[in-house]
Amino acid sequence: MQEITVYRWDDGRYTKIPIGVVSEKRKTERGSNYIDLLRQARRRFTENSAGAVHIFIGLRHIRRGILPERTRDCTAG
């Protein structure tokens, strides 16, 4: 299980503020993992639909789990 940070975008200061985490329980990529996690985060951390557009999740953590492992050295030489 992997925990992914949820952020709220602050328009006034142009910064992202961490507000919590959502847990990724799927072991394999099903094509909609990011969308499902974003939907879960917006339900959990917003009070109304207008605030949902300012909620996003850390994509960097998800990408690391999706990319295949390297099988050989990719440097040219």
The answer to whether the CB of 22 falls within 8 A of the CB of 41 is yes
Q: Which residues contact 68 (CB under 8 A, 6 or more apart)?
A: none
Element containing residue 5 per DSSP (H, E): strand 2-10
Q: Convert the pLDDT of each residue in 30-52 to its tens digit.
A: 778 888 888 999 999 988 888 88
Structure confidence at residue 26 (pLDDT): 78
The answer, as to whether pTM is greater than 0.75, is: no
pLDDT of residue 18: 92
Q: pLDDT at position 24, please? A: 83
Is residue 71's pLDDT more than 90? Answer: no
According to the model, what pLDDT value does residue 72 have?
Answer: 56
Look over the chain and give the mean of its residue pLDDT values, rounded to a whole number: 77
User: At what angle are helices 33-45 and 59-66 packed, to 10 degrees?
Assistant: 150
